[in-house]
Structure formats: C-alpha cells, structure tokens
Amino acid sequence: MSRQTADSAVVIGLEVHLQLNTATKIFCGCPTRFGAPPNSQVCPVCLGFPGVLPVLNRQVLRYGIRVALGLNCSIQPKIVFHRKNYFYPDLPKAFQISQYDLPLGSSGFVDLENKKVRINRVHMEEDAGKLIHKEGEPASLVDYNRCGIPLLEIVSEPDLCSPEEAYAYLKTLKGILQYLEVSDCDMEKGSLRCDANVSLRPQPDVLGAKVEIKNLNSFKAVARSLSYEIRRQGEILEEGGRVVQETRLWDDVKGVTQGMRSKEFAHDYRYFPEPDLVPFSVSTEEVEAVRAALPELPAQRARRFMAAYGLPPADARQLTAEKATADYFEQCVKALPAPVENKRGKVFANWIVSDISREINERGLENIQALGFPPSSLIELIGLVESGAISGKMAKEVFIESLASKKSPAAVVAAKGMSQVTDRQAIREAALAVIQEQPKAAEDFRNGKAQALMFMVGQLMKKTKGAASPAISQEILKELLGGENS
Amino acid sequence: MEISPKEVEYLAQLCRLELTPEELKLFAPQIKEILSYVEILKSAPTHNTPPTTHVLSLANVYREDQIRPSLDTEKALANAPAREGPFFKVPKVIDAS
Ligand SMILES: [Zn+2]
C-alpha cells in the first residue's frame, strides 16, 4: 500500500482555458481582436438576443482537433454541444454553450520529465464577457467583446502531487500549445487561464474534500496558491477538522486564498443538449488530415536536437520547451556554414540555456524575442570568441553591455576598446609575475602535477582581468616552466 | 415522488423567480403532478435505443471563419435597462469575502 507522505497525500488537477486565435467568434461572425473598444465586437448572437441561431465556426473544430491530437487524445466521432446553465451577468444568455458527455477529445496525456500526466478531456466552449466591479457601488459594468470567443478547456486527471509538478505541467502544456500555433497563449491578455483543484488525503485511501482555486493570473500564482492551500488544508486536518469543499479566490498581493460566500456559484448547471446546434460528425479522414499536418512538437524536436547536435537531454529539453527559444537556436545554427559540428551546436545551446535564459528570467520577459538580442548578435558574439578577438569571459561582459546599450557585440567591443590580449610579450610578463608569486604551483607543475598549470592560467587571467587569451597563456606558461609536462 | 415547498424554493432560485410562501405551497403539488405524468415515459423500453439529442436529421452545419459586421455599440446598448458609457450596467452579483 502507498506510504503516507506529505507528497503522496496531495492530489492536484488543473483546468486550463485556451482562447483560440480564430478571426471570428465561435458561433457568430464578430471579430475577436484584443483591446477593441468595449461592446464594439458584439452582435445579436453573442449578446444572446431572442430568436438568434448560433452556427459553429469550422476553424474552431479544426483547431480543437489539432490540440486534442497534440495532447494524445482520442477524438469523439460525434460531437454534441450542451447548455451549461448558470446565472451570472458575464453570460447574457444565462447559459454557456459548452460540451458535456461527448467532449471533442479524451484520454490523452502530457509527458513531463519524470511523469506522465493524463488528460481527461479537451472540449470546446464559448468565453464569457468581462465584468468590471465598481468599487463602493452595488453595480458592475459589462463588456461583451470577449463573450463568444472560442475556448478549449483542457482538463488534467488529478495526477499532480506538488505545486512544482503543477508548474512543470503548465510550462510543458504551454510549450505544446505554442507549437500548435492555435493561440497566442498569453496569460496577461487572458488567452491562457488556469484553475486548480487541490485536496489532501486525510488517510492514504480516503479522498479529501476538493477545493477549487480561481483568479490565478500566472503560473507562479498557481504554484504559490497551491502551496498556500496545501498548508491551510494540512493545518485543518492536523487539528482534526474537516476541509470544506468550495471555490476559493487567490489574492496574489496578500498571498492567500479566500472563500467565496456566494450562492450564485452553487454548481447546479442542469446541462442539456443545445437544441440550436445540430450534432457534428468527425470523420476518420478529417482527423487523419489534421494529424498529418501536426507540426513537430517539443519532445520530437528535443530528440532531433540531441541527434543532430549531440546536445545532452536536459539542454535539448530546455531549448525546445518554448517554441521561440528552439526557433532561435535553429536560426543560429542554420546561419552557420554547414555542416555544423556538434561542438559548435553545443556552444550556441550553452549560451541560450545559461546566459540568455538567465537574463530572460531575471527580466521577467515573455520569451527570447523580447530580450532584443537576435540570433545574428549571438552569432557575432561567438564569432568574436572563436576568432580570438575576445575571451570567453569577456564575451559574457560584452553580452550584458550589448543588452544594456542595444549595440551589437562587435560595436560594444570596438566602443570599449576591449580586445583579448594576444600580445605575447604582455602575456609573458604577466606569466613571469605569476610564477614568481606562486612558487608552490610552479614547483608542483615541474614535478608532473598537470592541474597546477590550470591554476596558474587562472591566476594569469585574474591578473589580466580576463583579457589574456587562455590558449596563449597556457602555451607561454608551459614554455616558461619547462618541466616534464611541456 | 414527493416535492416539498423547499425544493420549489431552490428551483425558483435557480430560475431567478421570486415566489411567496403561498406560491411555493401552491406549486409543489402541481410540479409533483407534472413529474409523475412524465414518469410514465420511464416504462418505455429504451435500453437498445441510443439517446436522442436532436430530432432534426441535420448534422454538420458550419460557417467559415469570416468576419461579419458587428452591431454598432449604441445599437447594442439601446435596450439595456442601464448603461454607463459604452458598458452595460448591472447589479453587482459577486460576494467574495
Ligand atoms: Zn457576435
């Protein structure tokens, strides 16, 4: 039987809503442009006027199949829409057209580094309008531009056991969705949204009460809110209490979840088949056509990078997790004269997964494109190192300076008068000084300890503030020291 | 099947209907009667019949992803009980605490 550990006691499932980037809404011809003036992209259909008929946008179905297949789901041959009834002013019809027992896709999975997370279902539905609550006034303002924008709801099985795993799942899922090019996946614009379900097993074989967390505006918020909820529920159980099944809102500023005391959210949706939309049949041919047109997905691309450039699995994974990063890498290596040897491929990969990724994270940027350091700049920078114009250490400085000044690496080197010291006389002088300062290391090297040389090269680099060419430094030190290793 | 006034009250709440205690008592037996009438359908043998969601023989009615003109904002708001600028104005429903 499973051991009761803090980890195995936690059960997390995630619901992701993805806005599709179709030109028009799911059931009417209104445009879906983001940021349009309030209530300027509405019509009798999406405003729910009486007597109107919704008609399905064919592209929504195609995109839906594409996503479902990308997540390894099987496709429902007969598709039916249902009305999900609930009363809230963001839905002018007082029901949402969604899918119930015959979702578009089911039984899929997403592979994480150490785990397979099962996908319960992928279904199509319409988005709701946007409410603006007026502070201190018992009124809300409504903009229905978003109402009727096509959504896919992607529901995971409760296979996740920690906030970190939930975070990793979302990152991986977002990566796949970006590759599928059906959405801009921008959480800030709300085109990718997430709700979390979390429960703690009071005993190994007993399911705990499920708490749903809403109002999660970033993947970090998902992880933080889950950590908070796990702690909160754990404390209740420890004190012998019972967790209440409810929906709670995440407050990102206070870092807490808070219960919603609203009967309006009582889950009694009274689903019934949408009479205004006749059923849809999806033929095997149609599914296979969409499957054949699927792009290369992150896992496949990582395998290709490993084979083509000899990248280690971890680097290949990191490089391909986001489409923009993988495209960047490929733009770099494609610009190099063929064939690109493994070693050169690795140099570019290293820069991207270390220095460049660090800057993206530290600046909280959306992706590599937002950094303002195009592939041509990285090629130029690495070229400067390879030609011996600057040292690897200087390159890191040039990179930071290039980001700050928005100048190309070559321009930075020229402007700062940076260049690697390749002047043999200057290096020889520094080397002599190092030998004098480090008699023990010099002695060790003469006695056959090869590592002593690397230490002395390091000292020499320090002396020249990283400007000396390591290759020439090594050569001159060896020459000066003579000894058995020369 | 018994229908209590309490169940009618819940139903009324879901339907956004405001009923008086007298009405709740009045409607409870009526709803019961309607339901028991529909109950008769349960006796029909249906295990070999797939569920019917639509009675029309139509299927696969699509439109292509092409923009059609939306309503003018003024027109869209014309029948709104309340508005503020380009927004519909509604009573606040949410009660988070
Ligand atoms: Zn519309």
- Complete domains list, chain A, with CATH: 3-290 (no CATH), 298-416 (no CATH), 424-480 (1.10.10.410)
Q: What is the pTM of this model?
A: 0.81
Q: Which residues, including other chains, have CB under 8 Å from residue A433's CB and lie 6 or more apart?
A: A463
The reply to whether A69 touches chain B by the CB within 8 Å rule is: no
Does residue B96 belong to the interface with chain A, where contact is any CB pair within 8 Å? yes
Q: Reply yes or no on whether the pLDDT at A407 is more than 80.
A: yes
**Residue A484 pLDDT grade (very low, low, confident, very high; cuts 50, 70, 90):** very low
| Of the listed ranges A202-216, A250-264, A413-427, A447-461, the one predicted with least confidence | A413-427
3 state DSSP class of A189? coil
In chain B, the residue whose alpha carbon lies closest to the alpha carbon of A278 is: B59
Assess contact for A185 and A229: CB atoms under 8 A.
no
Q: What is the 3 state secondary structure string of A43-78?
A: CCCCCCCCCCCCCEEHHHHHHHHHHHHHCCCEECCE
* Contact assignment for A281 to B60 by CB distance below 8 Å: yes
Phi and psi angles of residue A75, each rounded to the nearest 5 degrees, phi first = -100, 135
Res A61 pLDDT > 70: yes
Q: Is B91 on the interface with A (CB under 8 A)?
A: yes
Q: Residue A261's pLDDT band (boundaries 50, 70, 90)?
A: low
pLDDT on residue A14:
98
Greater pLDDT, A205 or B82: B82
DSSP state of B84: E
Cis peptide before A138 (omega within 30 of 0): no
ipTM: 0.87
Q: How far apart, in whole angstroms, are the C-alpha atoms of residue A446 and residue A155? A: 66
Handedness of CA A475, A477, A479, A483 (dihedral sign): negative
pLDDT tops 70 at residue A111: yes
CB atoms near residue A73 (< 10 Å):
23
Do A31 and B70 lie within an 8 Å CB cutoff? yes
Q: Does A254 touch chain B (CB under 8 A)?
A: no
Taking an 8 Å cut-off on Cβ atoms, the answer to whether B95 and A261 are in contact is yes
- Walk me through the domains of chain B, giving residue ranges and CATH numbers: 5-42 (1.10.20)
Mean of the pLDDT values across residues A432-447? 89
Please give the average per-residue pLDDT across A284-307, as a whole number.
94
Chain B residues touching A59 at Cβ < 8 A: 64-65
Of B58, B77, B92, the CB nearest to A133: B92
- Least confident range from A77-81, A127-131, A383-387, B42-46: namely A383-387
The Å distance, Cα B63 to ligand 1 centre, comes to 13
Q: Which two tokens stand for residue A484?
A: 């058995």
Residue-averaged pLDDT of chain B = 89
Integer Cα distance of A109 and A159 in angstroms: 11
The alpha-carbon gap from A39 to the nearest alpha carbon of chain B, in Å, equals 6
Q: Write out pLDDT tens, residues B26-71.
A: 999 999 999 999 989 888 898 888 888 888 888 899 999 999 999 9
The answer to whether A142 touches A164, Cβ cutoff 8 Å, is no
